A and B are shown apart, each in its own frame.
Chain A
Amino acid sequence: MGSAGIALLLIGYLGAGLGLLAGIGLVRSRGDALRFSGLALVSGWAATGALLSLELVAGLGVSIASVVLTWVAIGVGSLVAARRIPGGPTLAISLPPDRVRRVIVGAAALLLALAVVLLAARSIFSLGGFPGDAWNIWITKSKIVYFFHGLDLGPGGLRQAVSPDYPPLRAAVDASAFSFGGSADPLFLPIQSGIVDIAFLGALVALLAPAVSAAVAVPAAVAIAVLPKFADFVGSELADETVIVQLSLACVCCLLWLQRRDRRLLAVAALMLAALALTKDEGAMLTLSVGIALFVAAAGRRREALFAVAPAAAVFAVWRTWVAVHHLPTNYAYHLTNLFHPIYLIHQSDRIGYGTEQLLRETASVSVSFVAVPFAIAASVLVLYRRDRKLGLFALGAIVLPLIGYDLIYWCSVVEPHRFVDDNVRRVTAPVVVAAAAMLPLLLRRAWRPLDP
Chain B
Amino acid sequence: MRQRNDAVGWLVAAVAIVLLGLAAWHLPAKFRSWWDEARSGHQVTRLQRQLYAARVVGVQHPEFVVTAAKAIPRTARYAILLGADAKTRLPDYRTAVPFAVYWLYPRRVVNFAAPGQWVLAFGTKESELPDGLTSRRELIPGVLVARQG
A285 in the interface (beta carbon within 8 A): no
Report the count of interface residues on A (CB-CB < 8 A). Answer: 58
Chain B residues contacting A28 (CB-CB under 8 Å) are none
Q: Are A122 and B19 in contact (CB under 8 A)?
A: no
Please give, as numbers and ranges, the residues of chain A lying within 8 Å of B138 by CB-CB distance.
none
**Could you tell me the dominant secondary structure of chain B's interface residues?**
helix
User: In the complex, what distance in Å separates the CA atom of A382 from the CA atom of B34?
Assistant: 37
Asked, given contacts A119-B34, A121-B38, A226-B26, whether A372 binds B53 with beta carbons under 8 Å apart, the answer is: no
Q: Which of A124, A135, A187 contacts B99 (CB 8 A)?
A: A135
User: Looking at chain A's contact residues, is the secondary structure mostly helix, strand, loop, or mixed?
Assistant: helix
| Segment from B39-47, B85-93, B125-133, B140-148 that makes contact with A | B39-47
Residues of chain B from 91 to 115 with CB closer than 8 A to chain A in the complex:
95, 98-99, 101-102, 105-110
Q: How far is the CB of A125 from chain B (nearest CB, A)?
A: 3
User: Is B5's CB within 8 Å of the partner chain A?
Assistant: yes
Check B5–A143 contact: CB distance below 8 A.
no
Nearest CB in chain B to that of A127: its residue: B41
Residues of B within 8 A of A440 (CB): 15, 19
The size class of the interface chain B forms with chain A is 35 or more
Contact of B46 among A160, A187, A223, A447 (CB under 8 A): A187
Shortest Cβ distance from A394 into chain B, in angstroms? 18
Q: A186 CB to closest chain B CB, in angstroms? A: 6
Q: Does A450 contact B (CB under 8 A)?
A: yes
CB-CB < 8 A to B55: which residues of A? 129
Residues of chain B whose beta carbon lies under 8 Å from any beta carbon of chain A: 5, 8-9, 11-13, 15-16, 18-20, 22-23, 26-27, 30-31, 34-35, 37-42, 44, 46, 49-53, 55-57, 77, 95, 98-99, 101-102, 105-110
Return the 4 tightest CB-CB contacts between A and B, nearest first.
Answer: A125-B41, A156-B108, A223-B23, A147-B106
7 contacts between A and B (CB under 8 A): A118-B35, A129-B52, A135-B53, A136-B98, A184-B105, A227-B26, A437-B19
Contact surface of A with B, Cβ cutoff 8 Å: 111, 114-115, 118-119, 121-122, 124-132, 134-136, 139-140, 143-144, 147-148, 154-157, 160, 184-187, 216, 219, 222-223, 226-228, 231, 366, 370-372, 375, 378-379, 382, 385-386, 437, 440, 444, 447-448, 450
